[in-house]
Structure 1
Amino acid sequence: MCIPTAVPTNVQSVLSRIKMIEHPTSGEESKLGLYNFKVATWNVLADGYTFPNYYSHCTAALNWSTRFPLIIQHIGRADPDILCLQEADHWDEYKRALNLMGYKTLYLKRSGCRRDGCAICVKRKKIKIVERKCIYFNSLCELPFEDASRIQRDSVALVAVLQPIVRRRQLNDDGSERLNEEAAAHQPTKFCVATTHIFWDPQYEDVKCRQVHYLMVKLEQFWKKAKNLILCGDFNSPPTSAIIEFLRKGKVDLRTWDLDMIPGNRQLKPCHGWSSLGLIQPAFEKQPKQASNSGNHRRYSSLFLRLKSPILRHKFQFQSVYQCYRKHMEWLSKGRTLSTDCEKKVFTQRYKGKIYEPLITSHFSQFSGTLDYIFVANGVRPVRYLQLPSEVELMKIGPLPTDTFASDHLMLMCEIHLEN
């Protein structure tokens, strides 16, 4: 049963607050609305991962029959047009509920015996699904790495090509129809959304680096454009990690990093997989695993060499939607606004390239920090984003989930403008 808490209901209400704030980089052209959509990502905490030793503060709140209605209610309050979920199990229940809410859903269960997976859900009246792509990170084991068992972590990524549904005729107030001239003049552009849940353990940081690098390689192969891409999910990496720097900057050379700092926070327990990326000399030389088929070996050789390199690269120019969030909140708390283009220019120039992500997107007894992100490439412009509970508010509330909030992760959401 739940341990009694002194936290008042009005404090806990910030967890269910849906307040969108104008983004510092938004422009007038991005407020037109024809190609504007709300995109949300949320790790909903799989029923299979509600371990009592992690969530002993409120065991009754872990019951699936209690949590699932709260999850659906929160999604309904946020009402995103595109919803990306991680750690979604009991998928039949999600699918039925989301279908009633007007969503068409795609789902990819994790490999092996795992019961949870990733999902992309879109409002069927606004967006159509053109194509899907499933990425299984266990496919890395087919490459001639010597540590295949270490790599096999059952993680996945789900990718979808989407296209806006634009109604070319609109109703007048008197019920008659008129031509939507802007819609008639343009063929809606396609765009790509990808979501993933990267492996969690910092002692396997080499595996996490490979997973994210492999994801970017597969995205480059699947989505040939360098723009109109949204990538979101639980990357299990703080903002100061090499993985997030790689996504933000398009390149990271792990040889230039202190090995203990690659995960973003100095680790007390070492990662033992760096030799496979050439960062340390192994204790004894291993022969690379021989591919079972020489033809496969030739076919995979360029991919293998790229993933074995300590230099990680990708072609997308990503912006993290929440990158300057904390500084933005500071400005607002001091009564300053970003209501004009001039003010926005000053703000973005001052903090360009600096990291002020939210301090907390995941908050439970074993961990409190930022692990979740929304990245957008060229052609996708943030217009507004969801205000999150502050670290002060979360510390007053205590560990998540609670009897009113169903996950140990916060939902991130932004309204984006898609350039046509």
Structure 2
Amino acid sequence: MGHNGINLTLPVEQSPFLLPNSSEKDSHRRRHKRNRKKQKIIALETETHFQIQTLQPGPFQKFRSHTHRHTVSHTVGKWQDRNCRKSGKTFVHRRWTNSNHDTSDYNDKIVLVSYNILGVDNAAKHPELYRDVSPKYLDWEFRKKLLCKEVTGYQPSILCFQEVDHFNDLNDLFAKNGFKGVHKARTGEACDGCAIFWKTEQFTLLHEESIDFQRFGLRNNVAQLCVLKMNQTGPSGDDITESPNDTSSPSLVIGNIHVLYNPKRGDIKLGQMRIFLRRAYTLSQEWGSIPVVIAGDLNSLPQSAMYQFLASSELHTQRHDRRMISGQIYPSEHVESQFWRNHVWRWTGEELMLATGSRNSYLRHPLKLSSAYSNVPGSFKYRDKVGEPLATSYHSMFTGTVDYIWHTSDLAPLRVLETLPMHTLKKTGGLPSKEWGSDHLALVCELAFVSDGN
């Protein structure tokens, strides 16, 4: 059917000896139409079957499977588009993927959203990133309503936003939906920051603090940390102080961060993450070894040393070029040789101090973290080989994944909201768009508290 080169319509057989009259022509047309419809249905059923499989083959098979699934899903997409228009739904609807584990015994659950919502000032300062985007889709009055409508549709418990420079607007909008929030703005010339919102009938704020990395000589990025306690007896909109030893209902640490963008300053990126993770761990211990969730825009790719640091809790800095820590700059072909992988890179004393806090080249963090998305197996239509989304950001200069949700082992991911297939994303011509209010896509996951019984 055009895109995949497969003709799903079978020819109608006709007798070579008879010329059909008008009634026979009508009959042939009806049979032709029935056959065509039948073949389409069969094809769609087959394509849907392939679409929901999760494959774990070798590298060559992965590539073949991904290409095949991308091709066959195009027809399904067009079919869904027609049906969505009839029902009033949007074609760009995102789907949930459930965990393979039995989740029936989990009681306390939360839905968490992490979203870089695109600062108004940032969008205005970098028009080259949005050259294919209509100005009306960049307008904040349009975007803020679209963002609120989208996010509340996920029925979230906790929201972690980055690039927030109109907090009061968001606070007013989300207050109408039962949320309360805290904001930390960046210092210096930049006016955006981070914000955490929580559903007041589900949570009580026990503690809140922020990190201004400028105080540590690590640029003017910021991070937030909140201790939230689930309400068991009823809604409460007031912030109260409780004992860390109170275990009547589960609590957790929520960390929200926007890491420095500069691709070449891996030392600063690591330093920001080091301080952030250490403080999240300390809070967890102070409040009774409670679970930790880390969310945000890390400005690092899934194949990067930064990702490796979060996943493995350690990193030998001198085995990596400082400029390659986040994976945003791709090394040339000769640099990717075996020699490069075993090479020891020279870091200056200042760079080591920024990255590790000492002259030691070995970096560790105390949390044992897992990625919510990589822990829920998904289709190659949406995920890379690590298990992360294929893309969480898309504009004229970049397409890829830089946003993540990490959690400790006392939380279990029950399901995640898939991002968009690449071909669907590219049809937008660039984000923001009519359907999406930012140049990033929201990450959404449902997490459950893991008790001894579970």
- Category of TM-score, reference length = shorter chain: 0.7 to 0.9
Match of 1:62 in 2: 138
- Report if aligned partners of 1:226, 1:378 keep a CA contact under 8 Å in 2: no
Q: 1:329 is matched by which residue type in structure 2?
A: S
1:226 shift after superposition: 5.5
Q: 2:311 is matched by which residue type in structure 1?
A: R
1:330 shift after superposition: 4.4
Match of 2:379 in 1: 329
> Which of the numbers 410, 413, 419 marks the counterpart of 2:441?
410
Distance 1:202-1:303 versus aligned 2 partners, 3 A rule:
closer
Answer with 75-84 or 308-317: which moved more.
Answer: 308-317
Is 1:48 paired with 2:48? Answer: no
CA-to-aligned-CA distance 1:41-94 (integer Å, 9 cap, x gap): 000000001122111112221111221111111112122110110001111111
Match of 1:113 in 2: 189
Distance 1:307-1:196 versus aligned 2 partners, 3 A rule:
farther
Match of 2:275 in 1: 214
**TM-score under structure 2 normalisation?**
0.68
Match of 1:134 in 2: 210
- Report if aligned partners of 1:319, 1:376 keep a CA contact under 8 Å in 2: yes
- Report if aligned partners of 1:37, 1:416 keep a CA contact under 8 Å in 2: yes
- Report if aligned partners of 2:201, 2:234 keep a CA contact under 8 Å in 1: no
1:405 shift after superposition: 1.4
Is 1:36 paired with 2:109? Answer: yes
> Which of the numbers 143, 167, 172 marks the counterpart of 2:233?
167
Structure with more contact order per residue of length (Cα contacts < 8 Å, sep ≥ 6): 1
Q: Equivalent residues in 2 for 1:201-350 (5 A)?
A: 201-224=262-285, 228-257=291-320, 261-267=324-330, 279-280=345-346, 306-323=357-374, 328-330=378-380
- Report if aligned partners of 1:45, 1:88 keep a CA contact under 8 Å in 2: yes
1:255 shift after superposition: 1.9
Match of 1:297 in 2: none
Distance 1:252-1:227 versus aligned 2 partners, 3 A rule:
farther
Q: 2:275 is matched by which residue type in structure 1?
A: Y
Matched residue of 2:268: which SS? Answer: helix
1:398 shift after superposition: 2.3
Cα distance between partner residues in 1 of 2:313 and 2:258: 20
- Report if aligned partners of 2:94, 2:420 keep a CA contact under 8 Å in 1: no
Cα distance between partner residues in 2 of 1:232 and 1:107: 15
Cα distance between partner residues in 1 of 2:318 and 2:356: 16
Which sections of structure 1, spanning at least 5 residues, go unmatched? 1-6, 142-150, 170-185, 271-277, 290-301, 334-350
Answer with 257-266 or 358-367: which moved more.
Answer: 257-266
**Which protein has the larger Cα radius of gyration, Structure 1 or Structure 2?**
2
**TM-score under structure 1 normalisation?**
0.74
Q: Figure out how many residues of one structure are paired with residues of the other and give that number.
A: 342
Distance 1:207-1:73 versus aligned 2 partners, 3 A rule:
same
Distance 1:26-1:389 versus aligned 2 partners, 3 A rule:
farther
Cα distance between partner residues in 1 of 2:390 and 2:105: 31
> Which of the numbers 387, 395, 419 marks the counterpart of 2:426?
395
Cα distance between partner residues in 2 of 1:99 and 1:230: 23
Q: 1:203 is matched by which residue type in structure 2?
A: K
Answer with 56-65 or 358-367: which moved more.
Answer: 56-65
> Which of the numbers 376, 383, 407 marks the counterpart of 1:376?
407
1:383 shift after superposition: 0.8
CA-to-aligned-CA distance 1:150-172 (integer Å, 9 cap, x gap): x32x1011000011001389xxx
Distance 1:72-1:307 versus aligned 2 partners, 3 A rule:
farther
Is 1:102 paired with 2:178? Answer: yes
CA-to-aligned-CA distance 1:332-355 (integer Å, 9 cap, x gap): 99xxxxxxxxxxxxxxxxx9xx72
Match of 2:398 in 1: 367
Distance 1:111-1:309 versus aligned 2 partners, 3 A rule:
farther
Distance 1:135-1:265 versus aligned 2 partners, 3 A rule:
closer
- Report if aligned partners of 1:323, 1:357 keep a CA contact under 8 Å in 2: yes
1:324 shift after superposition: 5.3
1:242 shift after superposition: 1.0
Answer with 126-135 or 253-262: which moved more.
Answer: 253-262
Q: 1:255 is matched by which residue type in structure 2?
A: Q
State percent identity of aligned pairs.
Answer: 25
1:210 shift after superposition: 1.2
Cα distance between partner residues in 2 of 1:305 and 1:79: 39
Distance 1:246-1:227 versus aligned 2 partners, 3 A rule:
farther
Distance 1:417-1:54 versus aligned 2 partners, 3 A rule:
same
Cα distance between partner residues in 2 of 1:281 and 1:41: 33
1:268 shift after superposition: 6.3
CA-based RMSD: 3.3
Cα distance between partner residues in 1 of 2:178 and 2:234: 21
1:243 shift after superposition: 1.0
Matched residue of 2:127: which SS? Answer: coil
> Which of the numbers 138, 143, 150 marks the counterpart of 1:74?
150
- Report if aligned partners of 1:227, 1:316 keep a CA contact under 8 Å in 2: no
Match of 1:173 in 2: none
Answer with 66-75 or 212-221: which moved more.
Answer: 212-221
